[in-house]
Structure 1
Amino acid sequence: MVRPKRVIAQTIKELVQLKRDQLILALAFLLPVFAMLLFGLTSSLDVNNINLAVQDLDITYTSREYIATFERTNKFKIVAIGSKVNVPQMLNQGKIAAGLIIPPEFTRDLRHGREAQVQILVDGTDANTANLIRNYAIATNNAFVGNLNHKTAIAVNIQSQFWYNPGLKSLNYVGPGAMGMSLTLLPPLFAGLATAKEWEHGTIIQVYASSLTGTEYLLGKTMAYWLVGITEVFLTNVMAWFFFGLWYAGDPTPLIVGSALYVACGVLWGIFVGSNFKSLPVVVQVVVATTFMLPWLMSGFTYPIANIPTALRWLANFTPTTFYILLARDAFSQGMGWSIAWSSVLTLGLLAGFFFLLAWWKLRRMQLED
């Protein structure tokens, strides 16, 4: 038989113990608030400030007015305009999300009552965003036609072509992103728990009593869990090929190098968290919040980074998943290789070095000076 007094006594005991652990108590209230702010501020599927390049081969008042219709929307941001703009090249370099091509007979066709033709090339790597861009372009095109002061019905036919992903297969976008997300949690979590466990169980004293230096301890622990992470990289690539039919569209070496650095970032961050908080429940909460929830919202996997408020957008630059997803999408969809992937690899290297310094600073003095 359940005795209410004993239940109440046990409840009071648990609350008293929770009150004594100030760190867990703070996290219990701060993490939901942090999560609510992130989800509320970043969860938007709208696409704004779309980088658009315009190759205007007509160069007339009418073509300029057509371009101005795109400028007046809050969806497109024209970054290049002119007759010599190379739209395919800018798409390959990742400088734009779409390119508009206006042919030289654009104004002539409209004046003679014929249907004018224009073309928009859209980066199809992200199928959902590509569809939104196409729909925005069609709506803008229709607005221009509606504003024409002609008694006869004149139409402008905007033809769309998707770059890299002509069939708009969502898997070509979601697959590489899912690969980055699947690797973002376990390596830092394993490393963080292993580090915190030594402090919680007191076995860290054996390390302090040995001749092992802080740098040696850090490198040894990093190497062990880095090897675990690299095995996970291999398994995810096999899964991507065997089950989903994804294969490299170009040079895979940027992704290979980036994978090694990406795993190192996660492991080093996990060791830093474990050595600071030294409590298994706290480490789990912090690692999940910083290496899974934050990348889920801030890396561009679920929502466009451009939609994130400027005050929070800087966090994406300290999220390794942001750059690893760019590498994975290039390797499996674009295939441009080092020409556009070098900056992501370099950033991952800098982040790995930064996280190493953080962990090293915490563990650097594991031996007392003689």
Structure 2
Amino acid sequence: MAIRSKRIIAQIIKELTQLGRDRLTLIMALGLPLVLLLVFGFSTSLDVNRINIAIQDLDSTRISREYISTFERTNKFKLVAQGSTVNVPRLLDTGQAAAGVIIPPEFARDLRRPEREAQVQVLVDGTDANTANLVRAYARATTNAFTENLRSPSSSTTNLIAENSRPSGSATPVTLQTRLWYNPGLETLKYIGPGALAITVTLFPALLAGLATAKEREQNTITQIYASSMTGAEYLLGKAAAFWLVGMAEVLLTNVESWGFFGLWFVGDPTPVIVGSALYIACVVLWGIFLGANSSTQSAVIQFVSLTAFLLSLQFSGYIYPIYNIPIYIRWISALVPASYYILLTRDAYVRGVGWLGVWSSILALAALTSLFFFLAWRKLQKMQVET
């Protein structure tokens, strides 16, 4: 039987009318993504600043105090205790400090001897491995800055070790100059914000479509549709189109909010992310209908959508950490998560600006997943129609 557009349009009007009658659901569908975007955008941060650090100075010389001042001048550390009597391990045990530096008694003297190296011990709380690695890198960078300051002939610190026998003006064999190709300011919001756009529009289109489908099964009103001349494909297209429109409205509202609150704006051709948004919303809506067709109750749909559409998108999309950091034996799951491709589109649109050349494969992947989810939902509805 041929697909008739009038039946599809009638199904769309019916779904939107039912949704419009439930004002609370409609407000939640359009309002909660905006709240989630603010929560994810402002609460998620990869920056580690103002780290509590304690320094035990057993040398108590002008050079050791200058070394301590180097830590004070950076915004990465917050000095909570310093002096010769500071008990660094105790401060780490009590949680008052996340790291501690112990300057040995002969620190300044070792700096003056070319045949010896001045050693400093850094103790880092390794409870949070990611933060510990960052603290270690920050401490190394601060120490390098102090060392370079000593080598500089124009530095006031050099006068403190005028008798230093080390060659103060020696040049390094390699000079490394780094340029950040994208996001030169290393703004975390430009990394988190585009990813949050994808996560916030994942849940509600799938949830609304799944609840609507499960409700018809629960109330057995779906048999009236099967008894009519409407085919399973027409029913699926009409229902999916209705909630696709709701999802696209969410995309529009969340993008407007990101422009106003996060300062995100397109840096290149916006057409890839527009096309990708249409495919992405279609993916999550069709997946929600598939889950609703396989669930006998609405409560089961809520659990299934929360687990598959939201939780998997949060963990396997590359929103917070790169996908290649996921263990290889479960990394394949990310290939079936539409958000993993959509996040690449949003980050390209707001940060990289490469355009179609860099994201065409993500568009094809979303198109393939849309086709797969459409087939799964259509197959299930056809099977239900035959059984009825």
TM-score tier after normalising by the smaller chain length: 0.5 to 0.7
Instruction: Rate the CA distance shift 1:135–1:336 in 2: closer, same or farther, 3 A.
Output: farther
How far apart, in 1, do the equivalents of 2:386 and 2:307 lie?
A: 35
Tell whether 2:259 aligns with 1:273.
no
Asked whether the 8 Å contact 1:248–1:335 carries over to 2, the reply is yes
Query: How much does 1:160 deviate?
Result: 2.9
- 1:163 is aligned to 181
Comparing 300-309 and 183-192, the one that deviates more: 300-309
AA paired with 1:353?
Answer: S
2:261 maps to: 243
SS of structure 2 residue aligned to 1:277? coil
Distance in 1, Cα, partners of 2:315 & 2:186:
23
SS of alignment partner, residue 335 of structure 2: helix
Measure, in 2, the Cα distance between the counterparts of 1:292 and 1:339. Answer: 29
Taking the aligned partners of 2:256 and 2:202, their CA distance within structure 1 comes to: 17
* CA distance 1:300–1:155, shift in 2 (3 Å): farther
Residues 367 and 322 of structure 1: is their aligned pair in 2 closer, same or farther, counting only changes over 3 Å?
closer
Is the counterpart of residue 201 in structure 1 residue 248 in structure 2? no
Aligned sequence identity (%): 58
Give distance in 1, aligned partners of 2:202 and 2:181.
Answer: 29
Per the alignment, residue 76 of structure 1 pairs with none
Q: CA deviation at 1:368?
A: 5.2
Listed one character per residue, the Cα deviations across residues 283-322 of structure 1 (whole Å, up to 9, x for unaligned) are 1001000011111111110222111111100000000000
The amino acid across from 1:276 in the alignment is N
1:135 deviation in Å? 4.7
Contact 1:185 1:288 in 2 (8 A): yes
Cα distance in 2 between the residues matched to 1:200 and 1:365: 17
Residue of structure 2 in register with 1:309 after alignment: 327
Q: What SS class does the counterpart of residue 331 from structure 1 fall into?
A: helix
* CA deviation profile, 1:1-40 (whole Å, cap 9, x unmatched): xxxxxxxxxxxxxxxxxxxxxxxxxxxxxxxxxxxxxxxx
CA deviation after TM superposition for structure 1 residue 212, in Å: 1.0
| Mapping for residues 315-334 of structure 1, pairs under 5 Å | 315-334=333-352
Instruction: Name the structure 2 match of 1:227.
Output: 245
Measure, in 1, the Cα distance between the counterparts of 2:366 and 2:290: 17
| Partner deviation per Cα, 1:25-60 (whole Å, 9 max, x = no partner) | xxxxxxxxxxxxxxxxxxxx9xxxxxxxxxxxxxxx
Give the partner amino acid of 2:369: L
C-alpha deviation, 1:265, in angstroms? 0.2
Cα drift, residue 171 of structure 1: 1.1
- CA RMSD after TM alignment: 3.1
Which structure 2 residue ranges, 5 or more long, are not aligned? Answer: 1-45, 47-129, 145-165
1:179-237 superposed Cα distances (whole Å, 9 cap, x missing partner): 00001100000000000000111111211211111111110100000000011111111
TM-superposed deviation, 1:169: 1.0
Aligned partner of 2:26 in structure 1 is none
1:180 is matched with 198
* 1:330–1:336 CA contact under 8 A, matched in 2: yes
Question: Whole-Å Cα distance in 2 between the matches of residues 240 and 171 of structure 1?
Answer: 10
CA distance in 1 between partners of 2:193 and 2:250 (Å): 15
Equivalent pairs counted in the alignment come to 236
Given the alignment, which residue of 280, 292, 308 partners 1:290? 308
**Structure 1 consecutive aligned stretches of length 4 or more whose deviation exceeds 3 Å:** 151-159, 365-369
Partner of 1:217: 235
Task: Find the aligned partners of 1:366 and 1:210 in 2 and give their Cα distance.
Answer: 14
Superimposed CA distance per residue, residues 156-185 of structure 1 (whole angstroms, 9 cap, x where no aligned partner): 554332221111111111110000000110
CA separation of 1:367 and 1:211: change in aligned 2, threshold 3 A: farther
| Equivalent residue, structure 2, for 1:261 | 279
Q: Is there any run of 5+ residues in structure 1 with no aligned partner, and where? A: 1-44, 46-127, 143-150
| SS state at 1:202 partner | coil
> Offset of 1:367 from its aligned partner?
4.8
Distance in 1 separating the partners of 2:197 and 2:253: 10
- Cα deviation 1:84-140 (Å, max 9, x = unaligned): xxxxxxxxxxxxxxxxxxxxxxxxxxxxxxxxxxxxxxxxxxxx99x96x959x88x
Letter in 2 for 1:364: Q
User: Judging changes above 3 Å, is the alpha-carbon distance between structure 1 residues 160 and 368 closer, same or farther for their aligned structure 2 residues?
Assistant: closer
AA in 2 matched with 1:165: N
Amino acid at match of 2:308: T
Between the aligned partners of 2:347 and 2:288, the Cα distance in structure 1 is: 26
Q: Give 1:16's aligned residue.
A: none
Compare CA radii of gyration and give the structure with the larger one.
2
Contact (CA 8 Å) 1:213, 1:365: kept in 2 or not? no
CA distance in structure 2 between the partners assigned to 1:339 and 1:367 by the alignment: 43
Q: Is contact 1:195-1:278 (8 Å) kept?
A: no
What's the counterpart of residue 3 of structure 2? none
What's the TM-score, normalizing by structure 2? 0.56
Give, as a single letter, the amino acid of the residue that structure 1 aligns with 2:196: A
